[in-house]
Amino acid sequence: MTEIRLLLADDQALVRGALAALLDLEPDLTVVAQVGRGDEVVDAARASRAQVCLLDIEMPGMDGIDAAARVSAELPGVRSLIVTTFGRPGYLRRAIDAGASGFVVKDTPSAQLADAVRRVNAGLRVIDPTLATESLTSGENPLTPRESEVLSAALSGATVAAIAARVHLSQGTVRNHLSSAIGKTGTSTRAEAAHIARERGWI
């Protein structure tokens, strides 16, 4: 039986430990590295010679989707599997676009998760079926990259001036992007637009 070497990336140590304990029970799976930050994934995967990286989405340093993109770019033989609490269709699309080989939610039974790891390692794509259906019915992300960036900055309730400074645009341009994003999300305020975009996994 060929060993599959795994890296776990999750900012919650308890979750990471539980996942490691479950996966290590499988005779062909070995957890060789664990990190709590997205920006540590590539270096740890390279050092541990991991073959599959199991990535949470929301982590400090870099989110799991950006980490999957870096793994895909810098370690082309290594696969990424997103394992997250946040089963949002927009996240699924972004993850696949970033080069992730799979996307499952954390309440997936351990036997199914182990099988997902094996399939991803074999070069197959594994996607939570409920999410796949939702993703097909929810439509494409209508936001431009700039609108997404401005809405992300607006999530904290920052003023237009603060958002403009953060994203290096004029206040007028920021207002235009916010107005466009409000229209595309069918909302009436930037706070609502940011909330909807986050719920759908667009930002």
Mean pLDDT of 12-33: 94
- Do both 130 and 36 map to the same domain? yes
Predicted confidence (pLDDT) per residue in 67-76, tens digit: 999 999 999 8
With a cut of 70, say whether residue 148 has pLDDT above it: yes
Count: domains in the chain: 2
- Do both 192 and 113 map to the same domain? no
- Do both 23 and 121 map to the same domain? yes
Structural domain span for residue 157? 145-199
The C-alpha atoms of residue 67 and residue 53 are separated, in whole angstroms, by 10
Tally of CB atoms within 10 A around 86: 16
- Do both 43 and 98 map to the same domain? yes
pTM for the predicted model, two decimal places: 0.69
CATH of the domain at 72: 3.40.50.2300
- Do both 165 and 87 map to the same domain? no
- Do both 127 and 42 map to the same domain? yes
Cα 64–chain centre separation: 4
With a cut of 60, say whether residue 136 has pLDDT above it: no
The residue assigned the tokens 């590295």 is 33
